[in-house]
Structure 1
Amino acid sequence: MRRGALAVADRIVTHPLNAWTWSGSADTRFAPRLADFRPADSQTVVEMMEGKYLLAGETVETGGTSPFALLDESDAWQLELNGFGWLRHFAGVTDPGQRAFARTLVRDWLARHERFDRDIWGVFVTGRRVLNWLKAYALLTDGASPDQMRRLNRSLAIQLHSLKVRAGLSPDPMARIMAAIALAGAALSEAETAGDLDALVGDLAALLARTVDGDGLVITRNPLHQIQILVELIPVNQALIQRHGRLAPLLAQRMEAMHRALDHLVLGTREAAFFHGCGQVPVELVLSIGAQSGIRSSGSGLVGGYGVLVDGPGKLVADGGRLPPIEASRDAHASALAFEFACGSTLVAGNCGPAPAQLDDSRDLFRHTSAHSAPTIDDLSSATIVGRGPGREAALENARPGAIGFDAAENTLELRSGAYGERYGLDIVRRLTLMGGGQTLVGQDRFVAGPGRKKQQGAFSIRFHLAPGVVVERSAEEDLIRLVYRNGEVWTFLWEGAAAEIDDSVRHSAHFGLNRTRQIVLHGPAFDGADIAWVFTRQSQG
C-alpha cells in the first residue's frame, strides 16, 4: 500500500505540468572540493575514445555514435553510463584531446537529457551523476565558455532540486541514501557556504542510522551496496573534515562501523563475498576503499547476519539466512546457509553471484538457493520471489527466520534454517569449522525434525560452486575429489553420508558477465537424522 502511494506521489511531482517548476539557478557556483580516491585506468580512456564502453560487465561498441543515443542496451549498462562513474578515468589525464572528449560526452548528455526522463533521472542514478560531476568539476569546467559553465551549473541545480523533491518518495533505501549524500556533497561544493549545510549533514546522518544496522552493514545486506555508499560518502566526509570539522562527528562513528563491516565481508582474494546481489567488484576499488581507513575487522565473529571464520590466510563468510526488509530486498538472494571460502588468494568454493546484465531474464534463477553453496530439499529455494511490478523483486522467507551462532573456542559457526519446515517438517543445521591455519574447512549438514508436521518426503542437494579454472578429478575408488586450482594449489574434497556428482556451474565476472566453472553436488534422501559430513583440505606442497 505504502509503495503504491509513493509511486502515485512521484508520478504527480514528475508530471510535465509540475516538473517544469523545478528550479535551478545558473548563478549557483560550485568549486572542486570532492576528491575521487578511486583508481583510474588509462586503457579505459583509450577504449571509450574508440567507442568501446565496458560498463556493468558488458562491452558495447557504439560504432562512432554517442553512447547516450543507444536505447536498447541493458538497464544495468544504462545506469552505469548515466551515473558517470567512468569520468574518474579522465580526471587525471593530461592529453588535451582526452580531456576534451570527456567534456564532450557530458555536454552531449546535457543536450539529450536536460529534461526529465523517468529512467535517466531516477533518484539513485541522479544522485551518483551529481556526485561524479562534482568530483570531476575541475575537468568539466576547464576551458569552458561562460555559457557552458552556466548550462552545467543550471543542470546540477535542477538535478539537485529533483532529488529534494523526489528522494522522500522513493521506496528504495539505496536511492534515498544516495540522494542525501549528493545533497550534502553539493552543499559542501558550493562556492559560498550553503545556508542549509548543517541541516543536510544532519539529515544524512539520520538516514545513515536507518540504512545501516548496528554492526555497520547496509540493511540490504549486499556488500556491493556497502561499497557504493562508501565510494560516495568518503569524499563527502573528507571535505567535511577539511572545511567544517564541527560537523564531522555526525558521520564518524557510523562510517567507522561501515569500514569494519565491509572488511569482515572481504575474502583473501580481496573481493567482497558474493551475497544478495554482489558480484565481482574490481579488486583495486576494494583496496582503495580500505586504504581510506586504518580500521580492520577483528577476525572471526558475527556481523549483520553473516558469520565469519578466520584462521591464518583462510577466511569463510556464511549467511545465516536473514532477509532484508521488504523495501530493501530488491536484490536479495535466497542464500540461507550459503558460504564463500578462500585461503589466501585462492577461492575454494562460493556462490554464482547475480545474473549478468545480458541475462536479465534469468535474474531470479541466480537468486535461487541452488545458485549458492548451500543445501536445499527437492531443489526448492529457501526464499520465494513474490509480488508484481517493482514488488516482484522482493524476496520473502518461506518459514521461520534463520539462526546463527559462533563458538569462539572451536572457531565454528552453527547455522539453522527452518525454510523447509512447513512442507517437509525438517530444519537444516549446518556446522562449519575452519582449522589447520585456514587450510581445512570441516562441514556438517544435518536434517532434524522441526516444529512443523512432516507432509512429504524429499531429497536433499548440497551444492559447492567451485572457482573458475579449477580442474576437477574424481577418484573412482574412494569418496574423494581432487581440485587443482589455476595457481597450482591442490585441494581435496571428502564426504560421507551422500552420493556425489560433478556438474557445470558459472560465476559472475565484471569483465565477461559470466565465467564457466564446475560444482560438486551431494544428494540423498532427506529425513530426520540424515547427517552429511564433508571436508575441503589443502594438500601439502612437495
Structure 2
Amino acid sequence: MTTSLAGQPLLAVLTLREVWRRARRRLRTGPLHRWRFAGGRAGKLLVVPPSLRHGDPMIAEAIYAGRFFFAGQLLEPGRTSIFQAPLPSEAYAAELHGFDWLRHHAEAGDALAVQNARTLVDDWIRQKGGTLADPAFEPAVAARRMIAWLSHADMLLADADAGFHKRFLRSLSSQARYLRSVAQEAPEGTPRLQVRTALAFVSLCLPAASGRIKIAARHLAEELDRQVFPDGGHISRDPGAPVAILADLIPLRQTYLRQGQALPRGLYSAIDRMLPAVRFFRHSDGSLALFNGSGASDIHLMTVLLRYDETLGEPITHARQSGYHRLAAGSSVIVADTGCPPPALVSRNAHAGTLGFELSCEANRIVVNCGRPLTADAEWRRLSRSTAAHSTVTLDDRSSSHFARSESLDRFLGTPLVPGPTEVLSSELGDPVRGFEATHNGYERQSGLLHRRQVSLAEDGWTVDGHDSFQRSATVRTGSDAGKATARFHLHPSVSVEVIGDGVRLAVRGQRWLFRADARVEIEDSIFFADAGGARRTLQLAVPFDAYDPAGIAWCFEREA
C-alpha cells in the first residue's frame, strides 16, 4: 500500500526536508569538495579516551572465526572480506562500520584478538577509506567509528608496524575533516549529537589549534542544550538514549580533564541531568522501561554509569518535559508514558504507546511493553511500535499514533510517527496512594473520543488500581460509530498465568499476583522483543470494553504473596 503525500502534509514536509538535507550532504562530499578530506595526517595521538562499554571475549572469538553477528543477523563471508560482502540490511551495515565491536577484542586482550582487530581495521581502511558515498560514511556511523577507533587506539597501535600506524592516523585525520564538513547535515536527534561528540573527542585526541577545541566544545554544548530536557530525558523520549549518550559523555569529560581543558558548561550540566534520568527509567531488576525505541538493557553499562551519579536521591515522580510518570512504593515500581510523541524529525524510533505502563516488583518484571526487536525485520519493527504492543488501550484495533504506509518512505524517512496525540493532560494523585490521571487525544480525529487512564499504587506497593474510559471530545463532534476498546497488559515471559474464577493469577519467582477487572479477561499470545537472546513468546491479558460506555472499566493487580 502506498501513502499519498498530497493527503499527508506532514509526510510531504518531512520528505522535502530530507531531500534537501541529502542534497546538501552530496554537495559537500562531491568531486568539487572531496579534495578537502585528503591531505596530511596527524603525527601522533595526544590521548586515548577511556571506554565504559564492556565486551564479550566470545564475540571476539566468533569474529576471528569469520562469524559476524550484527543487528540480529549472522553473516559468514568466508574468504571474502566482510567489507566487500553484500550486507543484509542498513542496520547491519551501521553496526559493522560503526566498530563498536572492537570492545570485544579489547576485553579478550590476547595477542590473537588484538591482531585480528588491527587486521580488520586495516582492511576497512583499504576497502572503504575513500568511498564517501558508502553507508559507512553516514554521519552517525562515521561518528561511532571515530569514537571506537580513538577509544581502542592503544590496543590497535600496540606493537603495530609503521605502515599501519601511518594509515591509521591518516584515516583518522581524513574522517575528522569529513565529519566537520557534514556535521550540519547529520539527521536531527542522536545522529547529530553523536557527530558533535565525535568531533569533540577528535579535537582533544589529535593535534589541533586551541580554537578548534573551543569550537567543537561550543557546538557540542549547543546540541546538548537542544536535545537534553531539564529533567534529563532526551528529545526522542527513548529511555535508552541517556544511557547511550552518557557512555560517550563521561569518557569525554575525563578526556577534557586529562588534557587540562576547561569543561564545556553544557557538557557538565547535561551529565548531571541525565544520570538521575537513568535511575528514573530503571525498574526493580535494573533494566530500563520499554518505551519509544528502548530494547534489551545493558545492565552492566548502567551500573558503571550510575557510579558517577552524586545525587543519590530518590528519582522524581514526574518527568514533565520527557512526559513520564514513575510510581514507587515498597518494592514495586511503575513507569508510565504520559507525554505526547516526540517531534516528527526525531521520531524514527518512537512508539505509539501513549498512556502505556510497566510494573516490576523486587527483581521481577510483571507488566511490560513488547520493546524494540534486535533484528532489522521491518514487520517486527512496525508491530513493536504499534499501540497493541504496549500495555495501554487500543480503539478498534488502531494505534493512537500512525506511521507511513509505504516501504519506500519508511526507508527514506526512517519511519517517523505522523499524526498522533497532540495533547496529553496529566495530574498527580495525592496521598495515601501514589498515582496519576492522564488523558490523550490520539483517537480524537477518527473517533471523536479521548482516552482517559487513572493508575495508582498503594503505599505498601502490593496493590495497583487502574481505570480506563473514553469521553467524547468537546471539539470534534463527528467520529466513527465503532467503539471496540481493548485494554492490554503484556506480561514478561517469566510470568506464568492461571485462571482463578473471575480473575487471573500471575506467578513469577516466588511472587503471586491476582488480576481482576470488571469485564471479561481474555488471555492472548504476545511477543517480548526486548530480550538479549532474541524475541520470546509470552502472554497478554486483554480486556475488551465498549468505548462509548462512560463508566469504562476498572482493573486491579493485587499481590497475594
User: Same-fold call, TM > 0.5?
Assistant: yes
Say which of 496, 499, 516 aligns to 2:520: 499
Q: Which amino acid aligns with 1:522?
A: V
Task: Using the TM superposition, name which of 133-142 and 499-508 deviates more.
Answer: 499-508
Pairing 1:44-443 to 2, within 5 Å after superposition: 44-63=59-78, 65-115=80-130, 116-191=132-207, 194-244=210-260, 246-296=262-312, 298-303=314-319, 304-386=322-404, 388=409, 390-391=412-413, 393-409=415-431, 410-443=433-466
Q: Report Cα offsets for 1:381-432 as digits up to 9, x if no partner.
A: 1011148353361113445421222235331111211112233222111111
Change beyond 3 A, Cα 1:294–1:52:
farther
Given the superposition, is the C-alpha separation of residues 64 and 539 from structure 1 closer, same or farther in structure 2, using an over 3 Å criterion? farther
| Aligned-residue offset at 1:343 | 0.9
- Of the three residues 512, 520, 526, the one matched with 2:533 is 512
Q: How big is each residue's C-alpha offset from its partner over 1:176-216, in whole Å with a ceiling of 9 and x where there is no partner?
A: 11111001111111256654112211111111000112212
| Shift in CA distance, 245/408, structure 1 to aligned 2, threshold 3 Å | farther
Q: Does 1:483 align with 2:506?
A: yes
Structure 2 match to 1:25:
40
Q: 2:550 aligns with which of 519, 524, 529?
A: 529
Say if 1:167 and 1:175, in contact at 8 Å, map to a contact too.
no
The 3-state SS of whatever aligns with 2:245 is helix
Q: Which moved more, 1:109-118 or 1:129-138?
A: 109-118
Q: Give the number of aligned pairs.
A: 536
Secondary structure in 1 matching 2:136? coil
In the aligned structure 2, how far is the partner of 1:69 from the partner of 1:513?
A: 27
Question: Residue 474 of structure 1 contacts residue 481 of structure 1 at CA under 8 Å; is this kept in 2?
Answer: yes
Structure 2 SS opposite 1:382: coil
Deviates more, 1:162-171 or 1:239-248: 239-248
Structure 1 residues 59 and 538, CA gap change in structure 2 (3 angstroms): farther
Q: Does 1:470 align with 2:495?
A: yes
Deviation at residue 320 of structure 1 after TM alignment: 1.3
SS at match of 2:126: helix
Q: Answer whether contact 1:263 1:296 (CA < 8 A) is retained.
A: no
- Contact 1:241–1:248 (8 Å) recurs in 2: no
Amino acid at match of 1:222: D
Which structure 2 residue ranges, 5 or more long, are not aligned?
A: 1-15
SS at match of 1:91: helix
Equivalent-residue separation in structure 1 for 2:334 and 2:298 (angstroms): 20
Report SS of the residue matched to 1:68. Answer: coil
Kindly tell me: are residues 297 and 518 of structure 1, through their superposed partners in 2, closer, same or farther at Cα, counting changes over 3 Å?
farther
Question: In structure 2, how many angstroms separate the alpha carbons of the residues matched to 1:245 and 1:295?
Answer: 25
8 Å contact kept, 1:375–1:462: yes
Taking a change above 3 Å as real, the CA distance of residues 284 and 135 of structure 1, as seen in their structure-2 partners, is same
Q: Secondary structure at the match of 2:242?
A: helix
Q: Distance in 1 between the 2:365 and 2:91 partners?
A: 26
Spell out, residue by residue over 1:437-471, the C-alpha distance to the aligned partner (whole angstroms, 9 max, x if none). 32322111122222222432311011111001322
Change (3 A) 1:493 1:60: farther
Equivalent position amino acid for 2:512 in 1: V
Contact 2:373–2:530 at 8 Å: present in 1 too? no
The 1-side partners of 2:61 and 2:136 are apart by: 25
Q: Which amino acid aligns with 1:493?
A: F
Q: Distance in 2 between matches of 1:364 and 1:96?
A: 43
The question of whether the paired residues in 2 share the 8 Å contact of 1:500 and 1:520 is answered with yes
Tell me which amino acid in the other structure corresponds to 2:96.
Answer: L
2-structure distance, mates of 1:118, 1:299 = 43
Cα pair distance change 1:247/1:284, threshold 3 Å = closer
| Cα drift, residue 251 of structure 1 | 1.6
- TM-superposed CA distance for 1:362, in Å, is 3.4
State the SS of the aligned residue for 1:293.
Answer: coil
**2: CA distance, partners of 1:470 / 1:269:** 14
Gaps in structure 1 of 5+ consecutive residues: none
SS at match of 1:292: coil
Greater CA deviation, 295-304 or 148-157?
A: 295-304
Q: Is the 8 A contact 2:97 2:141 kept in 1?
A: yes
Partners of 1:472 and 1:297 in 2: CA distance: 36
For residues 280 and 226 of structure 1, what CA distance do their matches in structure 2 show? 15
Aligned equivalent of 2:477: 453
Task: Indicate how the Cα distance of structure 1 residues 418 and 283 shifts in structure 2: closer, same or farther if over 3 A, else same.
Answer: same
The answer to whether the 8 Å contact 2:232/2:242 transfers is no
